[in-house]
Structure 1
Amino acid sequence: MPTKRKLRSFTPLLIEAEKRSVKNGVHHAVFTSRFDKYVGDWKNDLKDGKGAFVTVSGKLYEGDWYKGFRHGFGVLSNKLPDNTYKLEYRGEWVRGKPEGVGWRYYGNEDVYFGFWKSGQKHGYGKMWYSDNTFYTGYWNKDQREGLGMFVEVNGNWYEGHWEKNLKSGFGRYYHMHTGQLQEGCWVENICVKSMMLDIDVRQYCDRPTQYPIPMEQLQDSRLILEKSEFWVKQKIGRIDKKLQTCIDKMNST
C-alpha cells in the first residue's frame, strides 16, 4: 500500500537567484545605472573594504568603505580636461563625509590642514589662503572661532579670540612695519579699546615709531570719545557682557 513520503524542504528559484546576485568579495568592475564605476570589495551587496569609485562627472574616490559609505582613510580627486586628476581631499572619513584629520585643496588654491567634523572645518587647523594670508587656530562649523592667529600679506598679524570669522574679544595686533603692539578688546573686527606698546624688535622695523611714543596730540580728543556710540553705551551701563569681561581682563594685565 502507498505510504506518505516526507516532502523535502527547498528554496524557490527566485530566492536562490537573489542570494547568488548579492555581491561579496572583490569585483573588477561594477557599473551603476548612471554609469558610475566601482572596483573593489563588497559585503552583503554594499561597498565594504578597499575600493575605487569613479563618477560620470569625473570624481574619483580611492580608499576605505564601510556599509556603502566612504569611511576610514581615502583620497578624493577631480578629473581635469587633460584626463589627469587634481587632489581635492586627503584624509579621514566618517559615513561619507570628511571627519577627523585631513587636507583640503580648494579650487581657488586655498589649502586647509586640520580637523573636520561632518564635512566642515571643526577644531584646530591651519589655512593657507591664495592671497598669501595665513590662519592657524580653532574653527567651528567652517568659521574661525576661539583662539587663533591671522597673518596678513604685509606681515602684520592678530592673535586672540575669534567669533564667526571675526576678531572678537581680547586680542593683540602686531604692527610689524612700525614695531608696535596694539593690545585690547575687539568687537566684530573693530578694536574698541586698546593700549599701544613698543615691541622688542621695533628698531629693526622699516618704519619704527619715535621713542618713546609721543604724547597724543589729537584736538578735542575727550570730546570725540564722549560722542562715540561705544563710550556712550559704556557710560549708561549698556555694554555687552562679553566685552566687559574683555575690558576687565585688559585692565588687570
Structure 2
Amino acid sequence: MPFYHKPKAFTQLPTAAEKKSVKNGPHHAVFTSRFDKYVGDWKNDLKEGKGLFLTKTGKLYEGDWHLGFRHGFGTLSHRLPNGSFYLDYRGCWVRGKPEGVGWRYYENGDVYFGFWKSGKRHGYGKMWYKNGTYYVGYWNMSEREGMGMFVQENGNRYEGHWEDDLKSGLGRFYHLHTGQLQEGVWECSVCVKSKVSDIVIRQFCDLPTEYPIPPETLRNSLIILERSAIWLKQKIGEIDQKLKHCIDQM
C-alpha cells in the first residue's frame, strides 16, 4: 500500500506562490517592466484607492484609482528639464480619462475650466487664451458649439450661436471701441446679414462714430429679414441661466 496520502487541503507550490503574489492593501513602491513606479493601494492585484503613479517619461498622476484605472479625483503633471513638475490637469476622471469637471493648464498658456467627456472639452466651460481673449459657453468634443460668448483682446465681444468651433447662426457683436451693436446671422465666422445700431455708451468709446447711424428708411425691412432663406434656417440654440447671467454681467 502507498505510504503517502495526498492531503485534502494540499495546495501546489506554484498556486500558493501565485496567491501570495497578489497585491492587496498599501504598497510602498511597485515597479513595472518599463520602470514606471506606483505607490499606493491595491485590491486583487489592481490599483484601487489612493495612489501615485510616475512613468519613466516623467508623467505623474496623484489621486484616486478604481479597477486599475485613474477614476475619481486626481491631478496629472509632467516633469520639466529642471526637475520640477508642471500641472497639466486637476479634476474628475472616469476609467483613465478626464470626465466631469476639471481644470486644464496648457503648455502654451491657455487655461480651461469646465466639463469634460472622454478626455475632451464637452458641455459648459470657460477658456482663457494666452493672447488675452476669452470664451464662455458650450463645447462639443473640444469644439465650441451651441450658445457662447467670445471676448476679443480689445474688449469687443460676440454673443450667439457656434458650430464646428466657428460663429454660425444668430448672434450679436458689440463693437465697444466704436459704440455700435451688430445683430444678425453668421456663417463660418463671417457675418452675412445684420443690422447695426448705436449703443448708449457710444460717446464714451475710444473711436466713436462721428454721427449717429441714420434712421432706417427701407420699407418693411423686418418682414424682408424674417422671410429671408438665411434667417429662416438659423438655429437659436439653448442657453442656461448660469451662462445667461455670465453674459449679462459682461
Runs of 5+ consecutive residues of structure 1 not aligned to the other structure: 217-234, 249-253
Give the fraction of aligned pairs with identical amino acids, expressed as a percent: 68
Q: CA RMSD in A?
A: 2.4
Q: Is the 8 A contact 1:185 1:247 kept in 2?
A: no
Question: Match for residue 67 of structure 2?
Answer: 67
Question: Match for residue 188 of structure 2?
Answer: 188
**Shift of residue 244 of structure 1?**
2.0
Aligned residues: 226
Question: Secondary structure of 1:17's partner?
Answer: helix
CA distance, structure 2, for counterparts of residue 48 and residue 120 of structure 1: 25
CA distance, structure 2, for counterparts of residue 176 and residue 244 of structure 1: 29
The worse-fitting range, judged by mean Cα deviation, of 62-71 and 5-14 is 5-14
Question: Match for residue 14 of structure 2?
Answer: 14
| One-letter amino acid of the counterpart of residue 74, structure 1 | G
**Shift of residue 14 of structure 1?**
1.1
Residues 129 and 6 from structure 1, CA distance in 2 versus in 1: closer, same or farther, beyond 3 angstroms? Answer: closer
Q: Is the 8 A contact 1:25 1:42 kept in 2?
A: yes
**Shift of residue 7 of structure 1?**
4.8
Deviation per residue, 1:163-186 (Å, 9 max, x gap): 011000000000011100000011
Question: Match for residue 27 of structure 2?
Answer: 27
CA distance, structure 2, for counterparts of residue 6 and residue 20 of structure 1: 22
Question: Match for residue 46 of structure 1?
Answer: 46
Question: Match for residue 222 of structure 1?
Answer: none
2:118 counterpart of 1:150:
no
Q: Is the 8 A contact 1:184 1:247 kept in 2?
A: no
CA distance, structure 2, for counterparts of residue 179 and residue 209 of structure 1: 7
Where in structure 1 do 4 or more consecutive aligned residues deviate above 6 Å? none
CA distance, structure 1, for counterparts of residue 235 and residue 98 of structure 2: 39
Question: Secondary structure of 1:178's partner?
Answer: coil
**Shift of residue 49 of structure 1?**
0.3
2:110 counterpart of 1:101:
no
Question: Secondary structure of 1:246's partner?
Answer: coil
| One-letter amino acid of the counterpart of residue 109, structure 2 | E
Question: Match for residue 227 of structure 1?
Answer: none
Question: Secondary structure of 1:109's partner?
Answer: coil
Residues 169 and 19 from structure 1, CA distance in 2 versus in 1: closer, same or farther, beyond 3 angstroms? Answer: same
Q: Name the TM-score, length of structure 1 as normaliser.
A: 0.84
Question: Match for residue 200 of structure 1?
Answer: 200
Runs of 5+ consecutive residues of structure 2 not aligned to the other structure: 217-226, 237-250
| One-letter amino acid of the counterpart of residue 128, structure 2 | W
Larger radius of gyration: 1
CA distance, structure 2, for counterparts of residue 98 and residue 201 of structure 1: 43
Q: Name the TM-score, length of structure 2 as normaliser.
A: 0.85
